[in-house]
Structure 1
């Protein structure tokens, strides 16, 4: 509603009178007022004048900004930039099965550099000053930023995990250090150190090669390099946040425009049990080899220790490049996960495969007896294949042969079966292919056959190859993890589980977003009677046979020793077992590289590990038998 001279307008009408117009307003009280066009035009002209003045002022302002003071404002524009300062997300925590923290994060001071519009001389001057604060050669920093040239506002990490004192000294000099930024970032802390290194792996700054493969990452980002850190990198990594910051040409921060918070990565709960892991690590110290413990009811890995190990924290420390290279190039190869990345002949621990094949195929029964005279002769040249007991064992059935690891008995079974049957049963137990464990860089081993030997060596297959294979020698190669998978299947009557180390994944709210369900790869259709025969042979091996050095007071153990011939040096020592034998809770593999006798070296280690796991006391027999090559 419009007010005009104190009266309220009801309607408006326009009349044409004598070539001019008159406005007539019908008023609330029945009155009306008329205004001529001349009066209206005067007001319109005044409005036009006001608009003209307004446009003039705008035009003058534009001329001032663009022409009169254009150079000044262009310089100001050049001197102020909007830069994104990323804020890395914290990687998720890694726990053991009982939620004991294995890997965590801690706040750390980091130095970053942005070239901005600095010249090469100015860059070197800034970097030299920073290097003096950190007591690190400037060349190591210049190496990191050499790929950045021209006007570039990208932030590059040049130093990390510096002390608080160093960070404060640099921060105080920021006005004299254009392009330098000091901030707090989360860094990894491996609380278990070398105890679980080959499980957790480690993180390190992303390489140039990796940058070409991961488009969502940038220079300076940390990425998993091995173990769980690598296999589950995307789960653990989270989503980076950052701040939009206005800086001048000298790289000095003027104000923060906007901030987006980082989203921390999900955490992982492992199947690893701290008590088991500690027992493995303690008893493998000073050895070269590996010990693996698995739950035979699920396939979950309770412990895995590869020796020698390393401390993942060294990759977070202030070690120089040459120091890290020296560490990486060690002849002892501490970074090598011998559980999965190394392949060895299995020796006599493989004899259960031959036993099951012979029993299921009917080549041997519980009543079959073979006389061991210490050797057999094969071929027209009567080549001798010996038993480890040079004078022979005498007569054995399959249980006695298993307990005493009689090679002659298993030679006989292998020859009756032939290489094809032996291969079939090896494959049933998972040999010759990767186990599929959720850790990186697994090898698949080798189960040779006629075709392989012909293609690889251009040689025929002989009976000597068959007898060697029947006792885990010859061209056969396995990983300790494959042996562990196989022992689990023996312990649980034929369920071939896929080994795994991840129990579940939880988000930052503590909610479970993924839970691992045990995966059954195969169920071996083996007669229960045959399982009992093989298990009896393994129980007897620990009770009085080659595995007696593993005995533990109050604990029933089913085990098997192995001494594998090694063309490159001393024999390898094996011991595999599960306990309690009547209702297994742990399947264990102990492997000592160049260790010699499985009975004298690996079996005692296995007994000590089981004693600690089950809170028992190992029977230290101090019996060092001279067990030969293929025991």
Structure 2
């Protein structure tokens, strides 16, 4: 066709036709180019991976978790060897050998049959028994298609001792796998569920290894093309003291009561002791051949997995009286030498508020009142400070806020004052509420870890430390990748002479007051007894203590003890404190040999 000689009308008609047909012709071309670009560029990695998966089969080898140490270097969490059996079809001999395997390993029967039929590398069992291992080794020449490999499972050498602070690991659930698969977790992986194991999972978890085999078009394994060794996780060094932990746990368990004990170093906030009882054996959650459910004989009703040290909140009772005495001294609402008469109670509004000692204490100074835990003086002091003053001072010591300890599921407790009640409960604040708050009852609750942090602040005279369990994390090359040091989260400013009065009174609590059961010969301790009112049953016993007190030095340990239904703090709770501090200063002392009947001894005060 001679385009130049065509009439104008014909050219116009052809141009119109080409305009209409061009999209029809070029659209498929553009679409094909776009699809090729998508496949070859944007999905190249995905298709390459899928192609590799079609060509290979991967058996994951779980990495050993990092070791965990106490403050002295003693291992408190390690790994035990776990032998697994694998079927390698490319090692198979004549059919008679394969048939003979069913007789040799009847307990692996169904798994073995499936492996032989699939002709793929398969794990025959998650953990071989000793008898199975000996049988495989002895008959290796007859069954070359079965091989063994060693992996590692988490082990807690001390069993229940560190259950609530270390936590435990177990196999990830289907729901967890959907969340974790993008972080290189495998469906067979284990992960930390509670405690240090959960919080420091990214450091404790190692890098899994793998056995990669080449398979043909029918899925039959041909050869091993890569065997990658797993890399262990990092080492975690804690601040925990095994001897003190054992003493606290032994005495609390011997008492027969539920409760919690927390010990903190007032010099930096390092946690030396963290016990909750009832407890559980974390090994029971890891064992692939289950030997019990990991629970104590108390069963579900005793809630052994509930960490009473950081997850429970209790009215602190009289253990807050040192805080309010310091507040009264600092704000000049009371003088150390001022004497108050206790007649067994006092009238507040239209209600008579009793002292715990109904017969009355007689004439008392501020130091005497703290030593005997007289409620009347603190009713008067609380009314003088007012609800806002009480709330402000107890909040300065950490009430109502989480401490920030490096453990999961910590509760903040509660510290509700006048404004909260008016806004939430819609009724006014009464003087009776102030009287209740002044002795640690009413709208106030604290966890045991909060009580320990408060005690540490009394011991070091004003510094509120964030408690921490892990001191440092060290990689396999010996390099420190994480270090926790003391973090100051608050400071209570008060004159040194007022701190001295409060400490003198707390020393007298133990020397000749309601806490004499906690007295340890040869060292000076300061403490305070308390009773947490419980509307659902017998009251809870509370005791705080710090020491040893050496002039010019910050005490080494601040301790908080809570015994559910233990009644008065001067009994069981004070006895447990006695055992912990005896262990601290006497390496020969054995707290587990204290008869249970002796735990109930001592002076019973509020």
1:203 aligns with 2:169: yes
- Mapped contact 1:504–1:516 kept (Cα < 8 A): yes
Give the Cα separation in 1 of the matches to 2:351 and 2:449: 34
Residues 1:615 and 1:462: Cα distance change in structure 2 (over 3 Å): same
Offset at residue 248 of structure 1 (A):
6.0
Aligned pair partner of 1:556 in 509, 514, 524? 524
Aligned pair partner of 2:198 in 230, 233, 253? 230
Residues 1:243 and 1:235: Cα distance change in structure 2 (over 3 Å): same
1:311 aligns with 2:281: yes
The within-5 A match list for 1:427-506 is: 427-506=395-474
Aligned pair partner of 1:572 in 540, 565, 581? 540
| Deviation per residue, 1:499-536 (Å, 9 max, x gap) | 00111111112332222221111222111111001101
Offset at residue 172 of structure 1 (A):
9.8
1:92 aligns with 2:66: yes
Unaligned runs of 5+ in 1: 1-76, 115-127, 146-150
Offset at residue 454 of structure 1 (A):
3.4
Residues 1:348 and 1:181: Cα distance change in structure 2 (over 3 Å): farther
Give the Cα separation in 1 of the matches to 2:291 and 2:72: 37
Aligned pair partner of 2:228 in 260, 275, 279? 260
Residues 1:473 and 1:180: Cα distance change in structure 2 (over 3 Å): farther
Higher strand fraction: Structure 1 or Structure 2?
1
Residues 1:252 and 1:358: Cα distance change in structure 2 (over 3 Å): farther
Give the Cα separation in 2 of the matches to 1:479 and 1:113: 53
Give the structure, 1 or 2, with the largest relative contact order (CA under 8 Å, sep 6 or more): 2
Residue 313 of structure 2 corresponds to: 343
- Mapped contact 1:236–1:267 kept (Cα < 8 A): yes
Give the Cα separation in 1 of the matches to 2:296 and 2:519: 41
Residue 33 of structure 1 corresponds to: none
Give the Cα separation in 2 of the matches to 1:593 and 1:173: 58
Give the Cα separation in 2 of the matches to 1:395 and 1:104: 59
- Mapped contact 1:197–1:312 kept (Cα < 8 A): yes
Residue 559 of structure 2 corresponds to: 588
Residues 1:326 and 1:294: Cα distance change in structure 2 (over 3 Å): closer
Give the Cα separation in 1 of the matches to 2:445 and 2:170: 32
- Aligned-residue Cα RMSD (Å) equals 3.6
SS in 1 for 2:442: coil
Residues 1:430 and 1:166: Cα distance change in structure 2 (over 3 Å): same
Residue 159 of structure 1 corresponds to: 126
- Mapped contact 1:80–1:246 kept (Cα < 8 A): no
| Deviation per residue, 1:355-380 (Å, 9 max, x gap) | 1221222211212222111111122x
Residue 604 of structure 1 corresponds to: 575
Unaligned runs of 5+ in 2: 1-50, 89-101
- Mapped contact 1:133–1:170 kept (Cα < 8 A): no
1:302 aligns with 2:272: yes
SS in 1 for 2:542: strand
Residues 1:154 and 1:587: Cα distance change in structure 2 (over 3 Å): farther
Residue 20 of structure 1 corresponds to: none
| Deviation per residue, 1:437-463 (Å, 9 max, x gap) | 111110000001123323443332111
| Deviation per residue, 1:407-447 (Å, 9 max, x gap) | 11111111111111111111111110100011111000000
1:352 aligns with 2:319: no
Give the Cα separation in 2 of the matches to 1:244 and 1:172: 27
Offset at residue 262 of structure 1 (A):
2.2
Residue 104 of structure 1 corresponds to: 78
Offset at residue 171 of structure 1 (A):
9.3
Residues 1:257 and 1:581: Cα distance change in structure 2 (over 3 Å): same
Q: Which segment is superposed worse, 511-520 or 164-173?
A: 164-173
- Mapped contact 2:86–2:121 kept (Cα < 8 A): no
How many positions carry a matched residue from both structures?
528
Offset at residue 210 of structure 1 (A):
1.5
Question: Considering only CA atoms, is the larger Rg found in Structure 1 or Structure 2?
Answer: 1
1:410 aligns with 2:378: yes
- Mapped contact 2:569–2:604 kept (Cα < 8 A): no
Offset at residue 296 of structure 1 (A):
1.0
Taking structure 2 as the reference length, the TM-score comes to 0.79
The within-5 A match list for 1:49-448 is: 81-110=55-84, 133=107, 159-160=126-127, 162-167=128-133, 183-214=149-180, 215-216=182-183, 217-247=185-215, 253-286=221-254, 287-318=257-288, 323=293, 330-379=300-349, 382-448=350-416
Residue 46 of structure 2 corresponds to: none
- Mapped contact 2:562–2:573 kept (Cα < 8 A): yes
Give the Cα separation in 2 of the matches to 1:534 and 1:449: 25
SS in 2 for 1:422: helix
Taking structure 1 as the reference length, the TM-score comes to 0.76
| Deviation per residue, 1:309-333 (Å, 9 max, x gap) | 2111111224659946998961111
Residue 615 of structure 1 corresponds to: 586
Residues 1:613 and 1:624: Cα distance change in structure 2 (over 3 Å): closer
- Mapped contact 1:279–1:613 kept (Cα < 8 A): no
| Deviation per residue, 1:561-588 (Å, 9 max, x gap) | 1111101111101111111123411111
